[in-house]
Amino acid sequence: MAGLATIKDVAREVGVHPSTVSRALDPSQRDRLGEPIVARVLEAAERLGYRPDAAAASLRSGRSRLIGIIVPDIANPVFSPIISGLERTLSARGYALIVADQPPDRPEQPDILEMLVARRVDGLVLANVSLKDDAVERCLRWQVPVVLVNRAETAGRVPSVVSDDVAGMRLAVEHLVGLGHRAIVHVAGPQSLSTGSLRRRGFIEAMVAAGLSVVDDDIAEAAAFTREAGLPAARLLLAQRPDATAVVAANDLLALGVYEALREQGRRCPDDVSVIGHNDMPLVDMVSPALSTIRISHREMGERTGELLLDMIGGVCAATPQIVTQPLLIVRGSTAPPPQGS
């Protein structure tokens, strides 16, 4: 029966040893064979209806060839390119990706980390850790290879792949200062997360470097990196600093919350107040006005995360690398010189 074909059946059909079939069917080993033999094996396996027994292969090798990634909000467009880049790297080496969503605002939820480890994943990618988080400690205790992406922890005990958040905020502030703005304020992200903390620090450092002072009223912290959390933070900030001519948001969703707060007040962007975001998430060029932002190469972050994790699994990665990618300023319609007389 076609559905019960074995490696031996495929080997007999092609006229090669079963070990050759095994290598041809394994993306991480097939480059040792010539393309013609790999093509013949794949064609015969498809025709005979052969399907690898993943459970048996896992028992033989001690590896599941499964990788888990935990994200804090799968609906956030930032994570789609990260997951895409990660999956592309993993699939090229014969690994499959399990994506788990663990929103921080749902305390009564299953222990996703423990569930993934119980399923014998070969490694984990965490995109949801805070600066002080027991998830890393648990992975170290369970001896599960782990890489952080788009987040970092204070101790730096495991590899991470992040954007240079301080440099990104410097680009944003320097752009606004170059346009003539001086009354610049900041909607910050949650300070429990490295992205929120580092971008706030980057804002303050860039303002000081430009000769501009920063006081408490110049910054309002959002409870989450969402449009919904950006709205009340922007309301507070604009009430504290009604003279502000520019807002630097810690991410694009917060910037959309600023847009909403300005509309409530009957103020126009960028005629009255310029707004710049961070991330360059999909579709921010389609809002009105198109959002100026700091582009982060999220797909590259995902790819490099996959490479790091596979190196760890293969015993290649001896050190604890912290990879930092460089951001890029993207100027669109939401930033302009300040109003005359401001």
Q: pLDDT at position 107, please? A: 58
Structural tokens at position 6:
């074995």
Q: pLDDT at position 22, please? A: 83
**Distance between CA atoms of residues 191 and 72, nearest Å:** 15
CB 207 within 8 A of CB 200: no
Helix (H) or strand (E) holding 249: strand 246-249
Q: pLDDT at position 106, please? A: 63
123: helix, coil or strand?
A: strand
Maximum C-alpha span of the chain = 84
Place of tokens 């290879």: 145
Q: pLDDT at position 206, please? A: 98
User: 170-296: same fold as 61-163+298-328?
Assistant: yes
CB 160 within 8 A of CB 127: no
Each residue's pLDDT, cut to its tens digit, for the chain (342 residues) gives 345 788 888 889 889 998 898 888 877 778 778 888 889 988 988 888 887 665 555 545 556 789 999 998 888 888 999 999 999 999 998 899 999 988 766 655 678 888 898 888 999 999 987 777 788 899 989 999 999 999 888 878 899 999 999 999 999 999 999 999 999 999 999 998 889 999 999 999 999 999 999 999 999 999 999 999 999 999 999 999 999 999 999 999 999 999 999 999 999 999 999 999 999 998 999 999 999 999 999 999 999 999 999 999 988 876 778 899 999 999 999 999 999 876
CATH (residue range 61-163+298-328): 3.40.50.2300
**Distance between CA atoms of residues 60 and 294, nearest Å:** 47
CB 220 within 8 A of CB 187: yes
- May I ask the CATH architecture of the domain 2-52? Orthogonal Bundle (1.10)
Place of tokens 């959390």: 229
- Phi, psi of 278, deg, nearest 5: -155, 125
Q: Where are the domains of the chain?
A: 2-52, 61-163+298-328, 170-296
At residue 169's C-alpha, the angle toward residues 294 and 330, to 5°, is 20
CB 82 within 8 A of CB 299: yes
* Domain 170-296 classification at class level: alpha beta
Q: pLDDT at position 188, please? A: 98
Place of tokens 């990665």: 317
